[in-house]
Structure formats: structure tokens, C-alpha cells
Structure 1
Amino acid sequence: PTWRPEISYGQPPVSLSPSQQGGGCPTSPTIPVAAGCHVPCARRDGPCPPHPPGTLWPRGTHPPVTTTGSIGTHHRRCPPAGTRRHGRLEAALRSSLPRALPVYGAVLNINRGNPGDFEVAVDAWPNFGAVLARRRGEAPLNDSYRNLCSAFYRDVGAYRALLESPGCLRWDSAFHIFGLQDGVLTVSQDIALAKGVELEVTEYYTYLHPDPSTLPEPQLDPDVQLGTLSPAHVELLNSTWPYGGNVWSRRYLGELLRRFPHLCLQDPAGNLLGWMLTNGFAAGTHGYIVPTQRRRGLMRALTIMAARQAHGRGFPVYGHTATDNRAMQRLLEELGHRRLPGLCYFVLYNPALARAAPGAPSGRNA
């Protein structure tokens, strides 16, 4: 049994940045700006540019600009992540758990050093109605592993408006949006129909452990020991991942090893028996036991150890499984994980472009 996890990271959206650190527009204390990266400063750069019709940015603030914007757009680096506003956002999302889990996990990482180089997009602040979390910076148009956003909304109308706001998403790229609310799917379907964009939807169950301190001690045979994965293992991870097998997935898995916690089990000779990774949204991902070592309780032990590791760091213990992966579902339920109501929707925009990833076998890049 294996985790059936998220696929990738994201393209820059409207980011939440404290104006007093970034030199923001003096007529508004808070400025959502777009990505990559720049908090405009009216005192330095001149007056706010005209607002595109229908945008959500209040009068006197700057609409989003992109890293590749036209000459004359305002360019200034975003302040470091983990600011007071991110702390307030973390608290607000905590009150909306478990529906906000995928965004909450990303914000936890942002507020603890931001190892994944993430950013957050909101429609308004502090009374936001919708949030996106994703990686900062540019990515190849067909890299659906990097181009992934997690979503949460309080108001589905605000969520729709955020997605459609200029500069938030690149509709000509392959990207995922995922979340635990039905509107994540229905809004994507409506927008795709209006824009003539192809979609591919995959549904998962999400499991959350309510109290990881109650988990039993992991039981391992004497010839099994805890080890550490290295960059030399990336090819093996890529070849055994149901969503891998190409250049972008290999890079993605390598980044997970460098940036986020992981566990592996080895025999006395150092041969890998199994592993479990963690992604930038704080979810368990790519759990795998080599075929010859199955039915030894190794996945059970890995699941317990990974849960304790996450809990010890102050993170939620959760992950996604394919709806037909009954073996993993039974294991999680035996260990006390609870399946959340409804489904987790992974919505892939422009799937044909995603399958054009270098080295991607047909049908593997999901």
C-alpha cells in the first residue's frame, strides 16, 4: 500500500505581504500583490496604476503585477515570509480546520522558515474570503509538479474572483489546484468552460489523525533500521512513484528530500526497504515499500513514525489516499486516523500540456 499524494507546486499568485516592510501604497495599510515578488511603493514609484475592471483590490492599492510585467510596472522584492500577517493567517486558518488543511500546512511551513519558498494569495485582508498557497517564482509551462496551488475559501464567490483576478494564474500553463471543498471543483469547471480550457479531475480521500499522541510504538524486526534518503535515491523514488517518471517529477522529488522531513527503512547492508516523504503542504506523500519486503508491517511502522515526527514539529498528521486504495485506508483507520467528509479534489488544467513533460510516459504524469 502507498500514499496517493499531491503532485506538485505552483506558479506565483497574489501574495500577502506587509506593506510597512515592503514600502507599500500609503493609502492602504495592506497590499495584496502578485508574485514573484514585488511590493509597489507609490512614494518611490509614482501613483498606483489603473485597476483592471472587476479586480478586488481596494481604491488606492496596486493591482497585481507579474515578474515579467510590462515596462513601468512596479518592481520590489517581497519581504521575508513568516511575518505577523502570516501568523494571523495561520490562526485564522486553524479555526477553519479541517477544511483549510492544505493551505494551513503550507502556512505552517512559511512561518517556520519557509523551506519550500512558498507564498500566499488572498482576495482581501484581514477579512479574506479566499486563500491560495503555492511556490514562488516562475516555472516551465508544462511543469505541473511545481505549478500547484492549495485552496481554501470562506466565500465561494470571493474564491472565484481571486482565481479570475489578473495576474493570479497562467491559463496557458499546466497547473493543479486542490482542496477539500466542493467549490474547488465547481469553480474550476465554470472557469474552464468559459475560457475553453481542458480539465482533468482526480478525487482522493483525506485522512487526519485527531490525537497522534495515542499512536502505538512502531514495531520493527531487528534487521530493519531507520535511515536517511540522499540525492542518490531520487531516481529510485521517481521510478516507483505512480505520478513520476519524467524530468519534472525527478526535480520535484529531489526538492522534497532537500526541503522537508522524510523517513526511510534499511536493512543492515543499507539497502532501502521503504520510505515516506512530506510535501510543502505538510501532507504525507510517496509512501512506498519495496515489493519483496511487503507484509512485514513496514508501512505501518513508517506511518506511525512519520505521524510522530509531524506531531513533534507541531504539524497536523494528514494525507490523501486514492479512493480505491483500500489497503492504505484500512491501515490508517486501524491506527486511529479519521477520514474527512467529502473528497479532496485535484484539478489539473491543460493536462495535455502536463503530459508533454520531458521524458513523461503516456498517462503517467497525473
Structure 2
Amino acid sequence: MFLLLTMTEEKLLTLEKTLLNYLPAAMKIYGTILNINKGKIRDLEVVVDSWPDFSTVICRPCKKEEICNPVESTLTYTVFSKDQNSLRNLLMDDNIINWTTCFIFGGIDISFLELVKDVAACKKFTVNFSTRCYAMILEDPKDLLDVTSERADLASRISHLDLSHAEIVNRNWKFGGDDNSLGIVKSLIANFPNCCILDETGNPISWLLSYKYSAMGLLYTLPEHRRKGYAKLLVTTMVKTLQKLGYPIYCFIEVENDTSYQLFEKLGFKEACGIRYAWVSCRPFES
């Protein structure tokens, strides 16, 4: 049994407010619902196991997006759950999860990995736990180490990315480099907060974007411009922007990325205690 919450329902606003009670565990789904309610996302729909007392929430591509999505060729599901049995029931339901094609569970709590593996096996799918991350959260913006005053010389060079910058961002993104990822980058630039530092010719040399689920990401500085404090300045700038817009302030850091972990920690972010996230790719068994 499940309930589909449509984009126009007041229930989505109620869901957004209720999810605040389950942060940081619900941070990714909360950030997604927030952007849906802001009108920034129109290609997702929301499923809950019951209402108003829900245990599981799943954001999934709209049915029409499963047929033809010009931005993301791989279906992605975002999941939050307080109950293993509830989550299992929803994942087993073919009306909720499209078990006929490849897809990704994006940023799912690693405590559910065995459950996902079991359900996938029942559906004759293989799983690959490709990326594991910490969630780094700035609990109070006052905790931010503000480096703006130290880099007043760069104030005139802080700007925003535009679509003409998508190629360089895509080319230097770890998960980029193809037309599919280029479409994702263009969508992020067009719809969600970002900032960058420009060189003397107006080209970006360091940048920071945010995802549709509100997390900061794609932080990158061209190699020849590193060790100049650009990343710290961009994070500081983005925090102030997100705070003004009412977004949560957080990011995901891959467990092996010590450099980024230390950067955000020095700026006042803290690791969400006891929580790890994984990006899980699911693929049908080969015949």
C-alpha cells in the first residue's frame, strides 16, 4: 500500500516541515522536497507508505521521465525510511520501483544496504555500491569560519556560472565527461545556486555548485590555481547564499577524500554522527 503525493498538494509542504524532525538522516530527501516545493524540480514525484504518519518516503522520476529524460539517462531514486519492513515493502512493489531497467539509489543510508541487496536478488538484479560518503553539515551558520575578509582582493572576481561554463565544469567533474553528465551540469547551473571565481579574462578557475537535493557539490579548482584559498572562499560564499534562500547547508564527502573532509571541517562543518550514505547501482542479471 502506498500514496502518491502530487506536486500541487499541500501535503508536500506538510512533508517538508515534518522531515525537519528527522534531520540529518532525512537531509537528502528533505532537500529534494524543498526544491520541489520551490518549483525548482518538476520531473520527480513523491511516494509515502502512509499518511500522515509515514515511515518511508521515496522520490522517483515521473513516469514520463522514465520513458524519455533528456537530462539523466539513468533513473535515480532518493529514499528515506525509519523502518526496514516498510522500506522493503515499497522496494518490492513494481508499481513504485521500475525493476525492468538499470537505476540508482542515490544517497541511501548504508544501514539499508543488505536490505537493498536482498530485494535486488529477489528481482534478479545485481547491485554495485559504487560511492560511500559522509554527510558534512553546518548545524549553525554562526559556526562558519568566514574567510571573506581575508580575501577582499577577490571580491570583484566572485561570480556565478552560466551555461557557457558547463563544458569546463563537466570536463573536470569526476563523474562527468560525456553528454549525459553535461546535461546534468547544465541543469544544475540553470536551476540551483552556484558560485565561482573568474580569472582576469572572465573564465572560471574555481567553482562550487549545488545539487537538486540542495547539497553543495562539484567543488573544483583548476590545478594551476590551487593552494590560494579559493575553495574556502567559495564555500563561505555559498553558505551565505544558501542561508538567505532557506536551504539546508550540507554536503557529501566520499570516505576516501580526506582533503575535502578536512577543508569542510576547518570551516565549521561537522560529520553527521553515525550516518553513512551510499550510491547503489542496480542492473538486471545478464541472461
TM value normalised by structure 2: 0.89
* Cα drift, residue 184 of structure 1: 3.2
What's the counterpart of residue 364 of structure 1? none
1:207 is the counterpart of 2:139: no
What's the counterpart of residue 294 of structure 1? 226
For 1:165 and 1:181, how far apart are their aligned partners in 2?
20
For 1:299 and 1:352, how far apart are their aligned partners in 2?
42
For 2:20 and 2:126, how far apart are their aligned partners in 1?
34
* Cα drift, residue 180 of structure 1: 5.1
Amino acid at match of 1:294: R
* Cα drift, residue 144 of structure 1: 6.0
* Cα drift, residue 145 of structure 1: 5.9
Correspondent of 1:241 among 169, 173, 191: 173
Correspondent of 2:86 among 151, 158, 162: 158
Structure 1 segment 276-355 matched on structure 2, within 5 A = 276-340=208-272, 341-350=274-283
What's the counterpart of residue 178 of structure 1? 106
| Greater share of strand | 2
Moved over 4 A (4+): 140-146
Amino acid at match of 1:308: K
Q: 1:200 to 1:258 in 2, by over 3 A?
A: same
* Cα drift, residue 117 of structure 1: 3.7
**Deviations along 1:285-325, whole A, 9 cap, x unmatched?**
11110111100000011111111111111111111111111
1:15 is the counterpart of 2:1: no
Amino acid at match of 2:166: V
For 1:107 and 1:205, how far apart are their aligned partners in 2?
21
Q: Which runs of 5+ in 1 are unaligned?
A: 1-12, 18-79, 354-366
Correspondent of 1:110 among 32, 36, 39: 36
Amino acid at match of 1:158: S
CA contact (8 A) 1:116 1:135 kept: no
* Cα drift, residue 112 of structure 1: 1.6
Larger Rg: 1
For 2:284 and 2:244, how far apart are their aligned partners in 1?
38
Q: 1:158 to 1:276 in 2, by over 3 A?
A: same
Report sequence identity in percent: 28
* Cα drift, residue 118 of structure 1: 2.9
Correspondent of 1:123 among 23, 46, 49: 49
CA contact (8 A) 1:86 1:111 kept: yes
What's the counterpart of residue 101 of structure 1? 27
Correspondent of 2:119 among 169, 191, 195: 191
What's the counterpart of residue 138 of structure 1? 65
Q: Which runs of 5+ in 2 are unaligned?
A: none
